[in-house]
């Protein structure tokens, strides 16, 4: 049985994620994962961690736009032209 179908696991994960996100969301929302602002933060900065947790939760719930971006043709599929 997938762990997301077990209510206690899903509930634990949500609460864990909420705590980490709250630590990094004190005055402004954390920068989006992978952006230059995110990269500039120190490794253990609460906002950097919160951004990673937000990205993971978006992926887990199917709201991550990354899969759509990954479906763009590669250089070889565009006739070898890399951009």
- Decide if 16 is inside a domain: no
Q: Residue 54: which domain range?
A: 30-62
SS3 content of the chain, % helix, strand, coil (to 5): 55, 0, 45
Rounded distance between C-alpha atoms, residue 65 and residue 62, angstroms:
9
Q: Tell me whether residue 35 is in a domain.
A: yes
In a domain, 83, yes or no: no
- In eight-state DSSP terms, residue 5 is G
For the stretch 23-36, pLDDT in tens is: 998 888 999 999 99
CA 33 vs CA 7, 56, 70, 83: distances in Å: 28, 10, 16, 22
- Say if pTM beats, i.e. exceeds, 0.75: no
Identify which of 45, 27, 48 has the alpha carbon closest to the alpha carbon of residue 36. 48
With 50 as the cut, is the pLDDT of residue 45 above it? yes
- Residue 42 domain-assigned (yes or no): yes
At residue 1 the predicted structure's pLDDT band, cuts being 50, 70 and 90, is very low
Could you tell me which residue, 33 or 64, shows the higher pLDDT?
Answer: 33
- Total domain count for the chain? 1
């Amino acid at each position: 049985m997938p762990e997301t179908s077990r209510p206690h696991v899903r509930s634990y994960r949500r609460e864990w994620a909420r705590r980490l996100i709250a630590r990094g969301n004190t005055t402004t929302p954390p920068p989006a994962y992978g952006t230059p602002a995110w990269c500039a933060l120190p490794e253990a900065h609460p906002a950097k961690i919160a951004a990673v947790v937000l990205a993971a939760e978006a992926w887990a719930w199917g709201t991550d736009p990354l899969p759509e971006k990954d479906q763009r043709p590669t250089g070889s599929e565009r006739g070898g032209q890399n951009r």
